[in-house]
Amino acid sequence: MMRLGHLLGGRWVDGEGEGTVLRDPTTGSPIATSSADGVALADAMAWARRVGGSQLRSMTFAQRGELLLSFADKLKEGRQAYYDAVLTNMGANKRDAVFDVDGAIAVLRYYGGLGRDLGDARFLLESEVAQMTRSVDFRVGHLLTSRHGLAIGINAFNFPAWGMFEKVATATLAGMPSLAKPATQTALVAYLMVRDLHEAHLIPEGVLSLLTAGGRELADLVEEEDTLAFTGSADTAAQLRSNRHLIARGARFNAEADSLNAIIALPDVDANSPSLACLIDAIVTEMTIKAGQKCTAIRRVIVPERLLDQVSEALAARLSPLKVGDPRNPQVDMGPLVSRAQQESVIAGAALLAQEGKSLLGGANAVEFVDVDPKVAAVVAPTLIEIGDPSSARLVHELEVFGPCVAVMGYREVADGIELARRGRGSLVATVVSDDSSAFVEAALALGSLHGRLAQLNSRTVGENPGHGVVMPQAVHGGPGRAGGGEELGGLRALRFYLQRTAIQADVSALSSLRAVAGEMR
Question: What letter represents residue 393's amino acid?
Answer: A
> Quick one: which of 288, 293, 286 has its CA closest to 381?
288
* DSSP element (H, E) containing 130: strand 130-131
Say which of 166, 225, 256, 488 is annotated catalytic.
256
Distance in angstroms (rounded) separating the CA atoms of residues 477 and 489: 6
Cα–Cα separations (whole angstroms), residue 156 to 232, 293, 337, 518? 5, 10, 14, 36
Question: What letter represents residue 356's amino acid?
Answer: E
**Annotation marks residue 405 as catalytic:** no
| List of residues 6+ apart from 281 with CB closer than 8 A | 462
Distance in angstroms (rounded) separating the CA atoms of residues 286 and 278: 12
Asked whether 400 and 407 are in contact (CB, 8 A), the reply is no
Distance in angstroms (rounded) separating the CA atoms of residues 265 and 125: 43
**Annotation marks residue 205 as catalytic:** no
| List of residues 6+ apart from 483 with CB closer than 8 A | 256, 257, 258, 259, 426, 427, 428, 452
Distance in angstroms (rounded) separating the CA atoms of residues 498 and 496: 5
Distance in angstroms (rounded) separating the CA atoms of residues 83 and 106: 15
Say which of 295, 386, 405, 487 is annotated catalytic.
295
Distance in angstroms (rounded) separating the CA atoms of residues 426 and 477: 13
Q: E-strand spans in 362-482? A: 383-387, 405-411, 427-433, 451-457, 476-477
Distance in angstroms (rounded) separating the CA atoms of residues 285 and 183: 25
468: DSSP letter:
T
Distance in angstroms (rounded) separating the CA atoms of residues 429 and 454: 6
> Quick one: which of 289, 240, 485 has its CA closest to 403?
289
> Quick one: which of 450, 406, 404 has its CA closest to 425?
450
Asked whether 447 and 421 are in contact (CB, 8 A), the reply is yes
Distance in angstroms (rounded) separating the CA atoms of residues 283 and 300: 9
- Catalytic residue ranges: 256, 295
